[in-house]
Amino acid sequence: MSSGQFNAGQSRGGAQAKTEDWMESAKSTTNAAHDKAADAANCTSAQAQQHKDESAGFLQQTGEQMVHVAQGAIDGVKNTLGVGDQKK
C-alpha cells in the first residue's frame, strides 16, 4: 500500500467520523428542541386552564353581586310601595 493510498483512506475515515459526529449533534439538538417545545406547550396549556378557572370564578362572583343588587332593588321598591315585609 502506498503512502498516498494510506492517506486517502485515513482522510475518508476521518471525514466519515466527522459526518457521524455532526449527525449525532444534529439529532441531539433536534431532540432538545422537541423537548423544549413540548414543555412550552404543556406550560401554555396549564396557564390557559388556570386563566379559564380564574375567569369562571370572576364571572361567578359578578353574577352573585348582580343577584344581590337586583334583590336590593326589589326590596327597595317593595318598601317604597308598602308591599314589603315590615318588621316591627
pLDDT value for 51: 86
pLDDT value for 10: 64
pLDDT value for 13: 72
What are the pLDDT digits (tens) for 1-50? 555 555 555 666 778 888 888 899 999 999 999 999 988 888 888 888 88
Q: Which three cell numbers stand for residue 45?
A: 396549556
CB 62: neighbour CB atoms within 10 A? Answer: 10
pTM above 0.85, yes or no: no
- 3-class secondary-structure state, position 23: helix
pLDDT value for 29: 92
Q: Which three cell numbers stand for residue 27?
A: 439529532
pLDDT value for 7: 59
pLDDT value for 15: 81
pLDDT value for 87: 56
